[in-house]
């Protein structure tokens, strides 16, 4: 029986994207057996067990395999490293287990391809040894993909830390980018994560192809630059398959009945509410939470805001499970009472897809995680872009300057956003001509997002070409 193997990185957003890719491939090849390999990172990437159980129970063609937990050597201290570095370290140590799993699987299945999350380039030596074509699944957009493919060139033409040089780079396919807007692990040349990304980005060009969660009319400039070989000026550019927008309709609520926030939205006027949500890992300090609250109150706008506990240290990424926040101690005195008539604050979580598709929602303040961007796009909701980590600053640049479906939240030099800036941007999004302009633009792209994956659409054709490519590979 023919099988493909999917190898996601641990964060829930990456896992959901990979499962959705598996489901999408099954629409073309329903007889295929899809196997997803799960590994445990040495930090809390959010619980995935209930989601995995649900997929296992509802889609018999998808099977999950859990690799044994890896213990990192004592020389690697968790607190001092980026979570990306820890992921790369575990992936390298995983290879013997991965090899064993694939060999075992080969006894019952003919493995046609391994599709690795872009973090999982470390698996390539195993796939080469076993003669399995290996693809990269890039879960973000073509703009940031172009940056990562071009990054070995940036590495070659610079000598210092990018965080210290404050210069612009002309990366093919995207607007000119300030060095400090590069993803955080790329900012310090002697950081272990930096080394891993240079190594990975170089290695991607050796893959059988890169599957990208975007569509042709959303990012035509970046897609064209990559396909024309501009992003890898000194090497091979693998085939690029655009198959998006790939989003999940599953909000992982796990509960019964209609969530309170949807009932509350039912009572609000059409397109009047701004929704603030910052992904499964995004965190703010207490001081920043108070500024957001003050800005929302002064804006006079209706709002639905998801608040999570602040980090124990000065970070904006959750490394460990968070208890529900005590809103009274985190937000300004009396804020909840004063805004009760026009605002609702949720603890930790919201059913984001359902919220974005609710008629009462008219704007979205987002961390620019690509899943969230695509969910807003498919719902036709304009954004205020407030990046926190990973490639999100690159996404903001593309969304604001190139695609023009978001307004920027502007931080001070230390990354702090004032209440005046929050008030200004929320008002601008909901009331101004600028806001109307991004709203009109996103409605156009929403229609194209619907057409791309349908029969004859560009993403459906991209998917067919991708599936055909591994079936043409000599084994």
pLDDT tens string 253-295: 545 568 999 999 999 999 999 999 998 888 999 999 999 999 9
Q: What is the DSSP letter of 317?
A: B
Other beta carbons within 10 Å of 168? 11
The first and second tokens of residue 176, run together, are: 């000119």
Q: What is the DSSP letter of 188?
A: -
Categorize the per-residue pLDDT at 77 as very low, low, confident or very high, splitting at 50, 70 and 90.
low
Confidence of residue 86 (pLDDT cuts 50, 70, 90): confident
- HSE at residue 47, side-chain half, CA atoms within 13 A, is 9
Are 471 and 464 in contact by the 8 Å Cβ rule? The answer is no
**What's the chain's length in residues?**
475
Complete DSSP assignment for 194-255: HHHHHHHHHHHTTSS-EEESS-TTTSHHHHHHHHTT-SSTTSPPPPEEE-------------
- Supply the pLDDT for residue 60: 95
| Mean pLDDT computed over 405-419 | 95
- pLDDT(311) > 90: no
Summarize the confidence of residues 425-444 as an average pLDDT.
Answer: 97
With cut-offs at 50, 70 and 90, classify the pLDDT of residue 79: low
What pLDDT score does 431 carry? 97
Q: How far apart are CA 297 and CA 292, in angstroms?
A: 9
Report the C-alpha gap between 472 and 468 in whole angstroms: 6
Query: What is the rounded average pLDDT for all residues in the chain?
Result: 93
> CA Rg, the chain, in Å?
22
Residue 453's nearest CA partner among 466, 439, 469 is: 466
Four-residue CA torsion sign, 404, 301, 275, 388: positive
Residue 251 CA to chain centroid, in angstroms? Answer: 15
In this predicted model, what pLDDT tens digit does every residue of 359-401 receive, in sequence order? 999 999 999 999 999 999 999 999 999 999 999 999 999 999 9
Contact status, residue 286 vs residue 330, Cβ threshold 8 Å: yes
**With 90 as the cut, is the pLDDT of residue 134 above it?**
yes
pLDDT at 40: 86
Q: In degrees rounded to 5, what are phi and psi of residue 294?
A: -65, -45
Q: Which residues pair with 366 in a beta bridge?
A: 277, 385
CA atoms within 13 A on the CB side of 175: 14
DSSP secondary-structure letter at 418?
A: -
How many other β-carbons are positioned within 10 Å of the β-carbon of residue 471? Answer: 11
Cβ within 8 Å of residue 156, ≥6 positions away: none
Question: Which two tokens mark 83?
Answer: 């979570």
For the chain, give the percent of residues with pLDDT over 70.
Answer: 94
User: CA angle, corner 422, sides to 360 and 317, nearest 5?
Assistant: 90
Q: Sorting pLDDT into bands at 50, 70 and 90, what band is 75?
A: confident
CB neighbour burial string for 210-249, b if at least 16 within 10 angstroms, e if fewer: bbbbbbbbbbebbbebbeeebbbeeeebbebbbbbbbbbe
Residue 313, Ramachandran bin (φ over 0: left; ψ between -120 and 50: alpha; else beta)? beta
- Please name the residue that has the structure tokens 């004063």: 338
Angle of helix 419-431 relative to helix 286-299, nearest 10 degrees? 40
DSSP reduced 3-state for 282:
strand
**Spatial contact of 192 and 85, defined as CB atoms under 8 Å apart:** yes
- Residue showing tokens 């407030």: 386
Residues 6-20 have pLDDT tens digits of 999 988 888 989 999
Position 254 scores a pLDDT of 46
Biggest CA pair distance of the chain: 68
pLDDT top residue among 258 and 431: 431
pLDDT band per the 50, 70, 90 thresholds, residue 250: low
β-sheet bridge partners, residue 277: 366
CA 115 to mean position of chain CA atoms? 17
Which tokens hold the place of 365?
């303040």
Nearest to 17 by CA among 214, 240, 182: 214
Which pLDDT score, from 0 to 100, does residue 319 have?
59
Cβ partners under 8 Å of residue 447, min gap 6: none
Q: Which two tokens stand for residue 116?
A: 């690795």
Q: Count the Cβ atoms, other than its own, within 10 Å of residue 51.
A: 18
H or E element at residue 347: strand 343-347
Q: What are phi and psi of 400, to 5 degrees?
A: -80, -50
| pLDDT value, residue 318 | 67
């Amino acid at each position: 029986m023919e099988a493909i193997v999917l190898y996601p990185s641990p964060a829930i957003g990456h896992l959901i994207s990979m499962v959705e890719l598996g489901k999408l491939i099954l629409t073309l090849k329903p007889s295929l057996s899809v196997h997803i390999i799960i590994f445990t990172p040495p930090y809390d990437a959010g619980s995935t067990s209930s989601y995995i159980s649900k997929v296992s129970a509802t889609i018999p063609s998808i099977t999950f395999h859990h690799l044994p937990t890896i213990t990192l050597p004592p020389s690697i201290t968790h607190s001092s490293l980026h979570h990306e570095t820890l992921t790369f370290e575990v992936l390298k140590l995983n290879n013997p287990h991965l090899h064993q799993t694939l060999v075992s699987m080969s006894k019952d299945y003919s493995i046609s391809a391994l599709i690795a999350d872009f973090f999982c380039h470390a698996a390539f030596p195993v796939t080469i040894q076993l003669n399995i074509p290996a693809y990269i699944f890039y879960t973000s957009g073509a703009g940031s993909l172009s940056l990562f493919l071009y990054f070995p060139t940036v590495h070659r033409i610079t000598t210092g830390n990018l965080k210290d040089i404050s210069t612009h780079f002309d990366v093919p396919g995207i607007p000119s980018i300030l060095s400090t807007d590069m993803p955080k692990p790329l900012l310090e040349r002697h950081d272990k994560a930096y080394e891993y990304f240079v190594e990975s980005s170089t290695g991607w060009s050796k893959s059988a192809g890169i599957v990208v969660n975007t569509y042709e009319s959303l990012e035509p400039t970046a897609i064209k630059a990559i396909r024309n070989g501009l992003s890898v000026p000194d090497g091979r550019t693998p085939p690029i398959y655009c198959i998006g927008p790939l989003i999940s309709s599953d909000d992982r609520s796990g509960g019964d009945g209609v969530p309170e926030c949807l009932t509350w939205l039912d009572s609000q006027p059409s397109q009047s509410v701004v929704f603030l949500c910052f992904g499964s890992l995004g965190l703010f300090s207490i001081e920043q939470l108070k500024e957001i609250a003050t800005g929302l109150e002064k804006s006079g706008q209706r709002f639905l805001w998801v608040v999570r506990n602040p980090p124990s240290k000065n970070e904006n990424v959750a490394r460990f499970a968070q208890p529900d926040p005590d809103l009274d101690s985190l937000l300004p005195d009396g804020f909840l009472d004063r805004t009760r008539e026009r605002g609702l604050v949720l603890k930790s979580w919201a059913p984001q897809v359902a919220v974005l598709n609710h008629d009462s929602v008219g704007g979205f303040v987002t961390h620019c995680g690509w899943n969230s961007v695509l969910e807003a796009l498919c719902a036709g909701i304009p954004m205020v872009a407030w990046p926190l980590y990973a490639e999100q600053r690159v996404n903001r640049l593309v969304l604001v300057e190139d695609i023009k479906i978001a307004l920027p939240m502007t931080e001070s030099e230390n990354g702090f956003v004032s209440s005046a800036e929050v008030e200004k941007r929320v008002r601008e999004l909901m009331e101004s001509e600028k806001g109307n302009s991004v709203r009109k633009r996103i409605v156009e792209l929403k229609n194209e997002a619907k057409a791309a994956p349908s029969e004859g659409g560009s993403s459906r054709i991209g998917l067919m070409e991708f599936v055909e490519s591994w079936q043409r590979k000599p084994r």
